[in-house]
Structure 1
């Protein structure tokens, strides 16, 4: 379940002007020290927006909102551009870019990778849980995805939290000598065996998933950072990625 926003406010739909060219002014440093009722907010980043005097504040929880220069007023909701072809969700574009950057920064040695024989045409990242039925269903599609030129990089997301059976199994999978074989076995219903005390990234990846807005599994991150929740057949994923079957 997604954690509630740190600050409660009336939802707001923002219609913005077109992005302007050139460098944007740096956000006020004071916004990194925002407080509510004397409690410092867990601000991770403050970004400029196309609207004069309005800034995007991202929290360590992965949630975000908008504020004025002094931090005296907050707006919760997505920022849209009123473009010639219709409304463009700038907030979602920003979230996509952040997701793409965050998963790209994860060392491949901390992921469980399934790739085909040929050079991949695209790589998707999938937050997964071995106890999740739809994760198992998606895993059955991995050979076909590889045939289509789609590399699958698994990240851990125990949907029941770090005290769940899923977390224990994922730690055992990541601690296995052959992680890809262990993942396939676990997804086939075999209970993983072996140590869970190795240095593994399961908890880090779980918290990353929360920050990126993952609420369930599987959660598929496309190369552009778009998040696709739930099971998607291989052919439809390939079509979404512009890959011919």
Structure 2
């Protein structure tokens, strides 16, 4: 006995099968989420997704970290997945994608603007005036040309960081005073004005899960956490432009 299906019926069956598989996958991911949160003792999971690697599930925590587990959450792996075929660091790529932002949404009016050369290339930084690595970055950025730099004052280290940030923000020439301090260690003069922008920067930084300074954002939204030498930053900007 032969059995045949019209193309329309085949499509309906395939669609139903796909929906069932999707529902099952979602159910598994939700079960993994609940199991992990039960283990850590709180609502700590942002999202769960199955990976193509040995039945592992990727668990993105609300802290921004990525861990891996199986469908029963019988173990948790806190480490990196390397694809041996492509030699790519899968975890690093995912972290970069998850931590990227929409650059266009940054409130640039809350940042110090510096234009070097033609200013065609654009980056944004979140920096604490008392951050040692920010001072190192400042010396590197001083070597760059044809770039516009938006510096968001992000005082998270101490009360003195807030005081310095407010004085810099209230200066007549913000960019000069910032550079004088961060590059040349010339302390900003006491100044007063509306420093709501600095307060909003701290709120924004927390929203973007910026836990350390400096943090750099490229025009395509790519996040670079920590200090990088100018040569490495130049390469990253070029790579982001190609994307």
Same structural fold, with TM-score higher than 0.5 when normalized by the shorter chain: yes
Query: CA 1:138 to 1:40, structure 2 compared with 1: closer, same or farther past 3 Å?
Result: closer
Alignment partners' CA distance in 1, 2:188 and 2:119: 31
Question: Residues 111-134 of structure 1: CA distance to partner in whole angstroms, max 9, x if unpaired?
Answer: 33323353523x333232212344
Matching of residues 41-190 of structure 1 within 5 Å: 41-51=43-53, 53-84=55-86, 87-101=87-101, 105-116=105-116, 118=118, 120-121=120-121, 123-145=122-144, 147=145, 149-158=146-155, 160=157, 163-174=158-169, 179-187=174-182, 188-190=186-188
Query: CA 1:236 to 1:63, structure 2 compared with 1: closer, same or farther past 3 Å?
Result: closer
Alignment partners' CA distance in 2, 1:69 and 1:104: 38
Alignment partners' CA distance in 1, 2:38 and 2:189: 46
Question: Residues 58-106 of structure 1: CA distance to partner in whole angstroms, max 9, x if unpaired?
Answer: 222222211223434311101111125xx21011011112232266643
Q: Does 48-57 or 88-97 show the bigger shift? A: 48-57
TM-score, normalised to structure 2, is 0.65
Alignment partners' CA distance in 2, 1:229 and 1:31: 32
Query: CA 1:112 to 1:70, structure 2 compared with 1: closer, same or farther past 3 Å?
Result: farther
Structure 1: segments with no counterpart, 5+ residues: 1-23
Tell me which residue corresponds to 1:18.
none
Aligned residue pairs total: 209
| Higher RCO (CA < 8 A, seq sep 6+) | 1
Alignment partners' CA distance in 2, 1:77 and 1:38: 17
Tell me which residue corresponds to 2:7.
none
Alignment partners' CA distance in 1, 2:40 and 2:143: 54
Alignment partners' CA distance in 1, 2:127 and 2:117: 23
Aligned residue for 1:88, secondary structure, equals coil
Shift in Å at residue 28 of structure 1?
2.0
Tell me which residue corresponds to 1:194.
192
When Rg is computed on C-alpha atoms for both structures, the one with the higher figure is 2
More helix by share: 2
Alignment partners' CA distance in 2, 1:70 and 1:230: 39
Aligned residue for 1:153, secondary structure, equals strand
Asked if structure 2 preserves the Cα contact closer than 8 Å seen for 1:156 and 1:206, the reply is no
More strand by share: 1
Structure 2: segments with no counterpart, 5+ residues: 1-21
TM-score, normalised to structure 1, is 0.65
Alignment partners' CA distance in 2, 1:175 and 1:47: 46
Query: CA 1:69 to 1:239, structure 2 compared with 1: closer, same or farther past 3 Å?
Result: closer
